[in-house]
């Protein structure tokens, strides 16, 4: 009961639908262009193709930093002189829960389930802390790699504390220590994938945190949002596309055909970037430094040139440039990660950004609860 008199309540009920349906406040579908919060974590400058974490340009972070340092930067706001982030062994309850999943489960579903189980064991309190963020980020690769082994009827591999987190993931998945170039390349990928402003999954994590729910719940929700094909990216689509094109001499005809059929070229276009995606530029350099990638890169670079030229012809009004997925495909292929693991590997890296945002949201401690315009029927009553 609200304390209003019966007559007041009836009057309010009568007025409500009529008033709300006449609501003339501006509404932006998809919240496009709406400022929905404040953050000090990252800025995405779509017009000029720039991305900064805590003020540092992404290219500089990839060239001179490690994922462990970048994660600390995102969580604490300051550049750490040195940082280590060691993969944590998966608790028995998490391993047992993974054993119950069908081997054909999507790795994103597996990761979400593993973090949910871990959260149930840990009984994380509120507000989220940097220590919780470190532990969640450190356990996720162990759990995902363990599933990769179990689905092949192999035993999980314990983390090697001497390896950086991304290299450890490859080690626990394959049972072999990756070579230095692959380790460095995956570390660079984790850096560029770690954070990207108020995207759908990050916003989801913030909404959940704003209710004073725990960090594992926020990350499970974020993984659910990232799983959707409009958000989760398209690097395996890029791989398929380059396989279909096959050789440079077929590229122009193939791309023209795809555009004539109204298809989208994977790895091009972005909701925010109108310029070359700075993450694609950073990953292109990384891919070029990897061994065994020459043929793939030769094809990719030439396909990219032709695609950019033809996209500019078709859409002179809208700049459609290379996005991060184009060279992500090269790097993840180069480190020999199975394509079905690409989206979940993205989530392993983005754990750093999601958890940083959860910590920032908890500090603001304001529940996110926007208004909605009512467009349903006016007040009516049940028959009889
Ligand atoms: N290939 C061909 N045409 C394209 C492409 C593309 N990759 N991207 C956009 N267009 C065209 C659209 O067909 C549309 O043309 P129209 O106006 O004649 O209908 C026009 O450009 C505008 O497209 P929108 O859908 O309004 O662009 P939006 O900003 O909503 O979409 C998106 C962005 C989803 C990334 C889109 O560019 C796309 O589908 N790209 C291909 C898939 C891809 O690479 N995804 C990864 C994105 S990066 C990430 O998720 C981390």
Per-residue pLDDT tens over the stretch 234-280: 677 888 899 999 999 999 999 999 999 999 999 999 888 999 999 99
Residue 278 confidence (pLDDT)? 95
Mention every residue, 6+ apart, whose C-beta is less than 8 A from residue 181: 289, 290, 291
Range(s) of the chain covered by CATH 1.10.230.10: 235-334
- Would residue 325 show up in a list of annotated catalytic residues for this protein? yes
Tell me: the pLDDT tens digits for 157-183? Answer: 999 999 999 999 999 999 999 999 999
Which residues of the chain register pLDDT less than 70?
1-21, 233-234
The pLDDT assigned to 8 comes to: 44
3-state DSSP helix/strand/coil percent for the chain, to nearest 5?
60, 5, 40
- Which of 269, 318, 349 best tests ligand 1's pocket when mutated (most atoms within 8 Å of CB)? 269
267 touches 234 (CB < 8 A): yes
- State if residue 233 touches ligand 1 by the CB under 6 angstroms criterion: yes
End-to-end CA distance of the chain: 26
Query: Which residue minimizes the CA distance to atom 16 of ligand 1?
Result: 315
Expressed in angstroms and rounded, the spacing between residue 92 Cα and the centre of ligand 1 is 43
Does residue 53 contact residue 42 with C-beta atoms inside 8 Å?
A: yes
Q: For residue 135, what pLDDT is reported?
A: 97
Cβ(323) to ligand 1 under 6 A? Answer: yes
Say how far apart CA 176 and CA 163 lie, in whole Å.
12
Name the residue with the closest Cα to ligand 1, atom 51. 233
What are the b/e assignments for 46-56, b being 16+ CB within 10 Å? eeebebbbbeb
Distances (CA, A) of 133 to 56, 128, 144, 182, 359: 21, 7, 17, 26, 9
> Does residue 122 have an active-site annotation?
no
Q: 270, 304, 357, 360: which one is catalytic?
A: 270
DSSP state of 197: S
Query: What residue owns the CA closest to ligand 1's atom 8?
Result: 269
Under a CB-based contact definition with an 8 Å cutoff, are residues 378 and 17 in contact? yes
CATH 1.10.580.10 domain range(s) in the chain: 86-232+342-364
Residue 192, number of CB atoms within 10 A of its CB: 29
CB of 324 sitting under 6 A from ligand 1 = yes
Domain 86-232+342-364 indexed as CATH 1.10.580.10: yes
- Is the bond into 127 cis (omega within 30 degrees of 0)? yes
Helices (runs of H) and strands (runs of E) counted in the chain: 16, 3
CA 231–ligand 1 middle distance (angstroms): 12
Question: Over the range 270-281, which residues count as b (16 or more CB within 10 Å of their CB) and which as e?
Answer: bebbbbbbbbbb
Cα distances from 138 to residues 68, 89, 262, 361, 379, in angstroms, run: 10, 9, 42, 21, 53
Q: In this structure, what DSSP letter does residue 46 have?
A: T
Minimum-distance ligand 1 atom for the alpha carbon of 269 = 37
CB 234 less than 6 A from any atom of ligand 1: yes
- Let me know: does 268 contact 322? Beta carbons within 8 Å: yes
Which residue stretches of 129-234 are H helix?
Answer: 130-150, 165-174, 180-193, 200-210, 215-227
Model pLDDT, residue 32: 86
Distance CA 257, CA 241 (A): 13
Residue 314 Cα to ligand 1 middle (Å)? 13
Fold for domain 235-334?
Answer: Cytochrome p450-Terp; domain 2 (1.10.230)
Q: Whose CA is nearest to atom 13 of ligand 1?
A: 264
Q: What is the pLDDT of residue 10?
A: 44
> What does the pLDDT read at residue 77?
98
In the prediction, which pLDDT does 21 show? Answer: 55
pTM (predicted TM-score): 0.91
Which is the closest atom of ligand 1 to the Cα of 196? 51
């Amino acid at each position: 009961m609200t304390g209003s008199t019966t007559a007041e309540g009836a009057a309010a009920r009568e007025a409500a639908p009529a008033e709300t349906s006449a609501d003339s406040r501006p509404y932006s579908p998809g919240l496009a262009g709406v400022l929905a919060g404040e953050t000090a974590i990252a800025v995405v400058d779509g017009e000029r193709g720039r991305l900064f974490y805590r003020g540092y340009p992404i290219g500089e972070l990839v060239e001179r930093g490690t994922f462990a340092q970048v994660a600390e930067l995102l969580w604490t706001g300051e550049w750490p002189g040195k940082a280590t982030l060691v993969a944590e062994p998966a608790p028995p309850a998490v391993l047992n829960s993974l054993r119950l999943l069908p081997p054909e489960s999507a790795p994103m579903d597996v990761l979400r389930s593993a973090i949910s189980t871990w959260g149930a064991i840990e009984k994380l309190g509120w507000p989220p802390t940097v220590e919780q963020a470190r532990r969640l980020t450190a356990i996720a690769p162990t759990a995902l790699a363990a599933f990769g082994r179990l689905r092949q009827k192999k035993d999980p591999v314990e983390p090697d504390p001497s390896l950086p987190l991304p290299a450890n993931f490859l080690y626990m998945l394959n049972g072999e220590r990756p070579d230095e170039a692959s380790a460095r390349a995956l570390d660079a990928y984790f850096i560029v994938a770690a954070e990207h402003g108020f995207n759908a999954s990050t916003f989801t994590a913030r909404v959940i945190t704003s209710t004073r729910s725990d960090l594992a719940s926020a990350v499970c929700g974020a993984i659910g949002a990232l799983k959707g094909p409009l958000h989760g990216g398209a690097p395996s689509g890029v791989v398929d596309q380059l396989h279909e094109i096959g050789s440079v001499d077929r590229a122009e005809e193939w791309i023209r055909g795809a555009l004539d059929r109204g298809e989208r070229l994977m790895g091009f276009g972005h909701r925010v970037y109108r310029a070359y995606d700075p993450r694609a530029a950073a990953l292109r350099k990384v891919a070029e430094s990897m061994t065994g990638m020459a043929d793939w890169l030769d094809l990719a670079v030439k396909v990219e040139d032709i695609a950019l030229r033809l996209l500019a012809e078709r859409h002179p009004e809208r700049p459609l440039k290379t996005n991060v997925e184009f060279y992500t495909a090269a790097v993840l292929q180069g480190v020999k990660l199975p394509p079905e693991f690409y989206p979940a590997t993205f989530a392993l890296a983005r754990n750093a950004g999601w958890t940083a945002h959860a910590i920032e949201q908890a500090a603001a401690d304001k529940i996110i609860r926007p208004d909605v315009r009512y467009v349903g029927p006016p007040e009516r009553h049940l028959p009889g």
